[in-house]
């Protein structure tokens, strides 16, 4: 132990520190309480570092002290004191670490200030200005310390957070650091035990070292992700989920997963019961925290999991992450990408198993969170083996509200059927009552119902599933087989020549309104059906164009008529006997067909014409 004494030494803060302190102290930021979290996490860091030092060094000052964090409040002296038996600080380290800005979080903070004053408030919380946050509430901060090094000094660093600090000798220090925060009158509340206790419970329950507040043990939540599954009860899992994710529901799924290769990973993931984005609370923050051996690296790391897994909550712990890694370097590290893909694959495999073991439960999950899997399918090509299998759709062969997988669709399809058919619409009802389904229903061909706006994007992005292309059932150029004999309506059809003549006449009546009029193969019940002539222009795409304010009125339409339908047959006669009303009816048939296909752009004429026809009918 050194007995050498030093002169009192005064130092100026580095200019950047002064700038930072000025902002921290004068900021209107209301969340002053985070200073407790920052100092506790520094204490925890110091203990963690000591643990590492203990692995490699034989000579350690004050060896044998417990790795605890002790916090005391004194509401007479108006102080809060945070002490740890961690690595401590040497004189040089005090000057360097408490007097200059070298670390990333604070640098980032300073950069962000260039974006203007408005940003000030929340950035403090986001980056954590660490140690300096104590000056938000302090008249004076004293840092007593002795380094773990046997030849360290007994020191006290003192500052009021304005211009500089001084370092004096302070004999009798234990190993580690004791930080005494002398509170300003305004923030005396932090010298009250109850106030601090609530804070610790909120922010520091994860800290893996025992925290004592005025002698009382505070943190009790264990890092259960590091345990064996058999050692953890359901209640413990649920309790952990609620605490860790700040959620109030019961988790829907949980995946506790440990691996040694290719990386050492301990992860505990949860899927909540409810999808929060559904309630319109805005986009969820990533909810899986990154730890390295129980020490928090980042609470909401952006790239730890793909964005479309942002509904997953929990913890990933990997001892392969260097402990002192900064958030900045973390974001782009190859290691993070590796963890990302290992966990994502594992999680999707887990979902697949759930879908097999408990299809109903999975269906419930999909109704709540399927959107994210669709987002992943449409945006992320990396999981094409796994994601499409997990998708679910309603279809013409499911009961309302029930879903089918693509694999089950293929298992049911007609032997000679190549494509997977789908129809988009605002609801199951709308699709079932629309003009396009009947042809498929009559032929026993299943059609997927895309009732979610995202569905068609997903299908377009997928393009194929197990080498079967997706085809929209409203395409004009579909060639469907003839109806099976039992489905052919009894009514006799118009003779072929008469049909042709009728088509030509209708085309004449409708002029530019249609590109083509033809006898339709598909029709069973309806007199007519309208299509976009452009085979690739599905009705959904047309709606999208309309939403983007593109002119869709010029898109060409094809009309198919049903030669068995009474209206069509009568029209064939009426066009000669009563040409005037026959012409009106031809136009009305087109408008009706456009309307039921969602293609009608203008309904003024349609309504007026309907009145005219009614007036004549009642004469
Ligand atoms: P960060 O924790 O992000 O490094 P801080 O501002 O919180 O930034 O702390 C600055 C530095 O001060 C730390 O990196 C560490 O070197 C030193 N320090 C702070 N508190 C302690 C402590 N309790 N024991 C040892 N060193 C500490
Ligand atoms: Mg810190």
Q: Give the model's pLDDT for residue 323.
A: 47
pLDDT level of residue 223 (50, 70, 90 thresholds): confident
Counting other chains too, the contacts that 428-435 makes at CB distance below 8 Å and 24 or more residues apart are: 428/394, 428/400, 432/396, 433/596, 434/596, 434/597, 434/598, 435/526, 435/529, 435/530, 435/593, 435/596, 435/597
Over the Cα atoms of the chain, what is R_g?
A: 36
Contacts of 496 (CB under 8 A, 6+ apart): none
Contacts of 197 (CB under 8 A, 6+ apart): 213, 216, 218
For the chain, give the mean pLDDT: 87
Is the domain covering 393-472 a CATH 3.40.50.11260 domain? yes
Residue 97: nearest ligand to its CA? 1
Better pLDDT: 438 or 109: 438
C-alpha to C-alpha distance for 311 and 388, rounded to whole angstroms? 19
Contact indicator for 137, 184 with CB cutoff of 8 Å: yes
Centroid of ligand 2 to alpha carbon of 549 (angstroms): 52
Please say if the pLDDT value at position 327 is more than 80: no
Centroid of ligand 2 to alpha carbon of 188 (angstroms): 23
Centroid of ligand 1 to alpha carbon of 381 (angstroms): 42
Q: Identify the CATH assignment for 224-365 out of 3.30.390.50, 3.30.230.80, 3.90.1570.10, 3.90.660.10.
A: 3.30.230.80
pLDDT digits (tens, 9 = 90+) for 264-307: 899 999 999 999 888 777 888 899 998 876 766 777 888 899 99
Identify residues whose C-beta is under 5 A from ligand 2, the ion. 42, 130
pLDDT digits (tens, 9 = 90+) for 362-403: 999 999 999 999 999 999 999 999 999 999 999 999 999 999
| Separation in Å, CA 435 to CA 428, 552, 589, 598 | 13, 20, 13, 10
pLDDT digits (tens, 9 = 90+) for 485-539: 777 777 788 999 999 999 999 999 999 999 999 998 778 888 999 988 776 666 6
Centroid of ligand 1 to alpha carbon of 133 (angstroms): 12
C-alpha to C-alpha distance for 180 and 143, rounded to whole angstroms? 6
C-alpha to C-alpha distance for 519 and 247, rounded to whole angstroms? 60
Q: Give the model's pLDDT for residue 346.
A: 96
Is the domain covering 2-217 a CATH 1.10.8.60 domain? no
Better pLDDT: 359 or 112: 359
Please say if the pLDDT value at position 190 is more than 50: yes
- List the structure tokens of 324: 């002192």
Centroid of ligand 1 to alpha carbon of 44 (angstroms): 10
Domain spans of the chain?
2-217, 224-365, 393-472, 496-618
| 84 bridge partner residues | 69, 177
Q: Name the residue at shortest CA distance from atom 9 of ligand 1.
A: 131
Residues lining ligand 1, Cβ inside 6 A: 38, 42-43, 45-46, 84, 86-89, 97-98, 103, 105, 130-131, 177
pLDDT digits (tens, 9 = 90+) for 590-607: 999 998 887 887 888 999
Query: Mutation test of ligand 1: which of 42, 86, 177 has the most ligand atoms closer than 8 Å to its C-beta?
Result: 42
Q: Name the residue at shortest CA distance from atom 20 of ligand 1.
A: 42
CATH of domain 496-618: 1.20.120.790
Atom of ligand 1 nearest to the CA of 87: 25
Contact indicator for 451, 394 with CB cutoff of 8 Å: yes
């Amino acid at each position: 132990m050194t007995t050498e004494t030093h002169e009192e030494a005064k130092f100026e803060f580095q200019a950047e520190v002064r700038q930072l302190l000025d902002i921290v102290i004068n900021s209107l930021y209301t969340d002053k309480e985070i200073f407790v979290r920052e100092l506790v996490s520094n204490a925890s860091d110091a203990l963690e570092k000591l643990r590492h030092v203990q692995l490699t060094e034989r000579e350690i000052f004050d060896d044998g002290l417990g790795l605890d964090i002790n916090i005391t409040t004194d509401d007479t002296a108006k102080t809060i004191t945070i002490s740890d038996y961690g690595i401590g600080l040497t004189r040089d380290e005090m000057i360097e670490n408490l007097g200059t800005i070298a670390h990333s979080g604070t640098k980032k903070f300073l950069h962000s200030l260039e974006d203007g004053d408005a940003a000030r408030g929340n950035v403090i919380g986001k980056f954590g200005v660490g140690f300096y946050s104590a000056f938000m509430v302090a008249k004076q901060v004293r840092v007593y310390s002795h380094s773990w090094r046997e030849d360290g000094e007994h020191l006290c660093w003192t500052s009021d957070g304005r211009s500089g600090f001084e370092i004096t000798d302070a004999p009798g220090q234990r190993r580690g650091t004791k930080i005494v925060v002398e509170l300003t009158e305004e923030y005396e509340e932090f010298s009250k035990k109850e106030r601090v206790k609530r804070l610790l419970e909120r922010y520091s329950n994860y800290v893996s070292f025992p925290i004592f507040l005025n002698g009382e043990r505070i943190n009790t939540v264990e890092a259960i992700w590091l345990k064996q599954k058999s050692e953890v009860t359901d209640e413990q899992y649920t309790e952990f989920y609620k605490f860790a994710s700040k959620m109030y529901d019961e988790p829907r799924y949980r995946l506790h997963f440990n691996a040694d290769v290719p990386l050492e990973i301990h992860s505990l993931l949860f899927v909540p019961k409810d999808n929060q984005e559904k309630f319109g609370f805005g986009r969820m923050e990533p909810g899986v925290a990154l730890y390295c051996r129980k020490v928090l690296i980042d609470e909401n790391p952006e790239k730890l999991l793909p964005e479309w897994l942002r509904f997953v909550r929990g913890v990933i712990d990997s001892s392969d992450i260097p402990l002192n890694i900064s958030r900045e370097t973390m974001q782009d590290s190859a290691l993070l990408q590796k963890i990302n893909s290992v966990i994502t694959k594992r999680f999707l495999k887990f979902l697949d198993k759930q879908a097999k073991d408990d299809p109903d439960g999975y269906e419930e999950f999909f109704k709540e969170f399927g959107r994210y899997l669709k987002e992943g399918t449409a945006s992320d090509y990396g999981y094409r083996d796994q994601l499409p299998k997990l998708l679910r759709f309603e279809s013409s062969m499911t009961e309302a509200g029930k879903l089918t997988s693509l694999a089950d669709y293929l298992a049911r399809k007609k032997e000679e059927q190549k494509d997977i058919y789908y129809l988009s619409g605002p609801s199951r009802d709308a699709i079932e009552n629309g003009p396009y389904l009947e042809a498929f229903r009559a032929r026993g061909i299943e059609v997927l119902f895309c009732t979610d706006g995202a569905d068609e994007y997903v299908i377009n992005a997928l393009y194929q599933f197990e080498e079967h292309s997706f085809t929209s059932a409203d395409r004009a150029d579909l060639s469907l087989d003839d109806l099976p004999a039992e489905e052919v309506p009894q009514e006799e059809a118009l003779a072929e020549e008469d049909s042709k003549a009728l088509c030509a006449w209708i085309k004449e009546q409708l002029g530019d309104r249609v590109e083509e009029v033809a006898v339709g193969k598909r029709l069973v019940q309806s007199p007519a059906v309208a299509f976009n002539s452009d085979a690739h222009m599905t009705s959904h795409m047309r709606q999208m164009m309309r939403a983007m304010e593109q002119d869709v009125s010029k898109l060409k339409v094809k009309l198919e008529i049903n030669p068995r339908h009474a209206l069509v047959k009568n029209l064939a006669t009426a066009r000669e006997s009563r040409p005037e009303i026959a012409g009106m009816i031809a136009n009305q048939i087109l408008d009706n067909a456009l309307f039921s296909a969602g293609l009608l752009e203008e309904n003024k004429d349609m309504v007026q014409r309907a009145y005219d026809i009614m007036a004549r009918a009642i004469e």
